[in-house]
A and B are shown apart, each in its own frame.
Chain A
Amino acid sequence: MADKVICITSGKGGVGKSTVTGNVATALAAKGYKVVAIDADIGLRNLDLVLGLENRIVYDIVHVIEGVCPVEKALVKDKKTKNLYLLPAAQTKDKSAVKPEDLVNIVEKLREKFDFIFIDSPAGIEEGFKTAVLPADTIIVVANPEMASIRDADRVTGLCEAMGKPEPKLIVNRLDPKKVARGDMMDADDVVQILGLELIGIVPEDKNMVSYINRGEPAVLFEDSIAGKAFRNIAERLLGKKVPFLDLSYNESFLDKLKKLFGGE
């Protein structure tokens, strides 16, 4: 598979990189693929929380690099989803603890053993970002339909190009259909038009997302989660299937319009 190693990045922090990584990785594992998710955000580890695996970490990626243990020993096996593994980031080290060639070596070791390898990139455009992107076959940029996020996504796209990487694909995350209907928020088409990237997912704002992360249970495991459905569709698209985007149109009621007129929510 050409798209085996997938790096999830964004430039801007807080747009949902780890949530996307954890959920899409879980969705593919649930379908029977053998998946490993690497947390490359050294010093600010969070992917373990999305997957609910924080209590089960013994070794991390820096231990592997320092030769404390082989990479297989550092992999944390997910308890809910078969075939899913996490390679945790170190929490107490800084980004310089993982050199670009270190991550390339680790990915090369894992490549034979897995169907998909996800790399959760740190925010920013410094060394840590470049390290995370370097081993990737496919890069996915996550952007919220919001000014700063889109600008940063464009910057990251330019840097990927400068590194000789293929053009990133785009996930528009945390789209609020109600705000789009009101004309307050850009929709996915607007974001695509501005960034000029291939869209592979639109994830709507999901009021239950905080609760899923609090419980350490990815949204994809819940049939009734709208974000979970969007993440499952992204997994299908990564498998090369043509899946239509979710219909997220929201019909603004007369009451909504009236409320807006009076400056209310």
Chain B
Amino acid sequence: MGFVDKIKEAFSRPPAKEIAKKRLQLILKYDRAGLPPNAVEAVKDAILKALKDFPFIDASGVTINIANEENSKGKIEIEVPVRNN
């Protein structure tokens, strides 16, 4: 790697502490909810599969999130939008 590339890389890479923060925030979200790290993707896949027979549902708009609430177990929140036409 040339000197110029090295300088470019040094300026374009996010600082390690920012990466650590992002990773930790995600890890703790799963840890606190007591969920395995692939839980959201797995559940989303299963739901999309189950919903594909319903034409009135907009599968591309399905969102899934872990919600951590004070003093309670975590929960998975799923939003299934209905196609509007």
Interface contact B15-A184, CB-CB below 8 Å: yes
Residue numbers in B under 8 Å from A158 (CB-CB): 32
Binding site of A, secondary structure by majority: helix, strand, loop or mixed? Answer: helix
What separation, in Å, do the CA atoms of A156 and B17 have in the docked complex?
Answer: 23
Q: Within residues 21 to 37 of chain A, which ones have a CB less than 8 A from any CB in chain B?
A: none
Taking a contact as CB atoms closer than 8 A, the residue among A147, A154, A261 that contacts B10 in the complex is: A261
In the complex, chain A residues whose CB is within 8 Å of the CB of B17: 180, 183-187, 190
A218 to B18, CA, bound (A): 34
Within 8 Å of chain A (Cβ to Cβ): is B50? no
Residue pair B27, A186 in contact (C-beta under 8 Å):
no
Give the residues from 180 to 199 in chain A that come closer than 8 angstroms, CB to CB, to chain B: 180, 182-187, 190, 193-194
**Distance between A28 CB and nearest chain B CB, rounded to angstroms:** 32
CB of A183 within 8 A of CB of B31, answer no
Give the distance in Å from the alpha carbon of A187 to the alpha carbon of B18 in the complex.
Answer: 10
Within 8 A of A (CB), among B24-40: 24-25, 27-28, 31-32
CB within 8 Å of A: which of B3-54?
A: 6-7, 10, 15-18, 20-21, 23-25, 27-28, 31-32
Interface size class of chain A, counting residues whose CB lies under 8 Å from the partner chain: 20 to 34
Q: How far is the CA of A182 from the CA of B15 in the complex (A)?
A: 8
- Residue of A with least CB distance to B14: A183
Find chain A residues with CB under 8 A from B31 CB.
151, 154-155
Bound: A35/B82 CA distance, A: 65
* B-side interface mostly: helix
Residues in B with CB closer than 8 Å to A151 are 24, 27-28, 31
Q: Are B20 and A186 in contact (CB under 8 A)?
A: yes
Residues A147 and B32 in contact in the complex (CB < 8 Å), given A184-B15, A260-B10, A261-B6: no
Contact with B along A149-166 (1 / 0, CB 8 A): 011001100100100000
Q: What A residues does B28 contact at CB under 8 A?
A: 151, 154, 194
* Total chain B interface residues with beta-carbon distance under 8 A: 17
Q: Given A184-B15, A187-B17, does the pair A194, B24 have CB atoms closer than 8 Å?
A: yes
Minimal beta-carbon separation of B72 from chain A (angstroms) = 11
Residues in A neighbouring B7, C-beta threshold 8 A: 261
Q: Which of A244-262 contact B (CB under 8 A)?
A: 260-262
The contact string, 1 if C-beta is below 8 Å from chain B, for chain A 217-253, is 0000000000000000000000000000000000000
A184-B25 Cα distance, complex, nearest whole Å: 17
A residues touching B (Cβ–Cβ < 8 Å)?
147, 150-151, 154-155, 158, 161, 180, 182-187, 190, 193-194, 260-262
Q: What would 23 A/B residue contacts be, using CB atoms closer than 8 Å?
A: A147-B20, A147-B24, A150-B24, A151-B24, A151-B28, A154-B28, A154-B32, A155-B31, A182-B15, A183-B15, A184-B15, A184-B16, A186-B20, A186-B21, A190-B17, A190-B20, A190-B21, A193-B21, A194-B21, A194-B25, A194-B28, A261-B7, A262-B6
Give the top 3 A-B pairs by smallest Cβ distance, nearest first: A183-B15, A186-B17, A184-B16
